[in-house]
Amino acid sequence: MLRGKFGSKLYKGVLTACLALLVVIFVFPIAMTTIHSFKTPDEIKTELKPVIKSSDEEDQEQKDQIGEESKYVDLKLIPSKATLNAYYDILLAQPQFLLLFWNSMKLTVPIVAGQVVVSVLAAYAFSQLRFRLREPLFFAYIVVMLMPFQVTLVPNYIMANSLGLLNTEWSIILPGIFSAFGVFLMRQFMQVVPYSYIEAARIDGAGHMKILLMIVLPMCRSGMAALAVLAFIDNWNMVEQPLIFLKDAIKQPLSVYLAYISEDDIGLAFAASVIYMLPAILLMLHAEKELVEGVQLSGVKG
């Protein structure tokens, strides 16, 4: 008995330590990015000089003279002189940042909304309707979902060019709405909806739309929340699509802008990264309650 209790406590202790270590590993980059956004550019360059590639020959010579000490980064958790200059420059002195932030919203929000609607409708058809070639068609969805992004990039480009959508937001929004992953995810949730509920609704004369809205969707809220969060994060961080489909830099999203911030504006890079992370973090915190409720109600669905 004592050995069993000791083993259980040891297991819980090791598991807790491992989870705490994972939390530190994942939170550390976010914390350091936030802290460095309040530091002066000179302080940031001094701390990160060993990992910042400089094109200046004099800086390179000084770096070689420092020797072994330059191989280590001396990170400070508290800024020597806290400042909001980086946020002022990003939000007020550089209006193009807000424009690019709005571009990201214009691309991401329609994709997420459209993807949820299309995925729910397609998943209902695959899970509740009986029609010919249903399984082969769903297998095709799985194959498309497993394909690398680069495989579908060329067909999407050819189609956008044929429709005259290149250099417009629709060249990115339309392919993003019809996501195979969203259909797969929602179908998995809808398959566990008790068939007796749907059969009873049909006996009462309910049609497919009423069954979907009144029975299926309320039981799949956690699935829609998970899909919305995953779709938002995936499309909020997209880089390849805007670079290929949007030729005008003024139409590109914020994710592309971050890649072009030079080392001379390293302070702006940290501040821009913090602002860039906020929508995804806030959405995740807001959807956490729905996700937890979905897990708690999963036993009722079965």
> Is residue 243 situated within a structural domain?
yes
> Is residue 7 situated within a structural domain?
no
Q: What angle do CA 49, 53, 56 make, to 5 degrees?
A: 95
> Is residue 26 situated within a structural domain?
no
> Is residue 12 situated within a structural domain?
no
Query: What DSSP element (H or E) covers 48?
Result: helix 41-48
> Is residue 177 situated within a structural domain?
yes
Residue among 91, 94, 86 at smallest CA distance from 38: 86
Are 37 and 267 a contacting pair, CB within 8 Å?
Answer: yes
Contacts of 280 (CB under 8 A, 6+ apart): 232, 233, 236
Q: What is the CATH number of the domain that holds 261?
A: 1.10.3720.10
> Is residue 276 situated within a structural domain?
yes
Its domain, for residue 272, covers 88-300
Per-residue pLDDT of 84-136, as tens digits, reads 888 888 888 877 888 889 999 999 999 999 999 999 999 998 888 888 888 88
> Is residue 52 situated within a structural domain?
no
Each residue's pLDDT, cut to its tens digit, for the chain (302 residues) gives: 555 666 677 778 888 889 888 888 888 888 888 888 888 888 877 777 766 655 444 455 454 544 444 566 667 777 778 888 888 888 888 778 888 899 999 999 999 999 999 999 999 988 888 888 888 888 888 888 888 878 888 888 899 999 999 999 999 999 999 988 889 888 888 888 888 888 888 888 888 888 888 888 888 888 888 888 889 988 998 888 898 899 888 888 988 888 777 656 777 888 888 988 899 888 888 877 766 665 555 444 44
Distance CA(78)–CA(31), nearest Å, equals 11
Residue among 265, 272, 273, 275 at smallest CA distance from 40: 265
Contacts of 101 (CB under 8 A, 6+ apart): 254, 275, 276
Per-residue pLDDT of 6-20, as tens digits, reads 667 777 888 888 988
| Total number of domains constituting the chain | 1
> Is residue 222 situated within a structural domain?
yes
- If you ran DSSP here, which 8-state letter would residue 147 be given? S
Distance CA(34)–CA(281), nearest Å, equals 13
Contacts of 242 (CB under 8 A, 6+ apart): 107, 172, 251, 252, 253, 255, 256
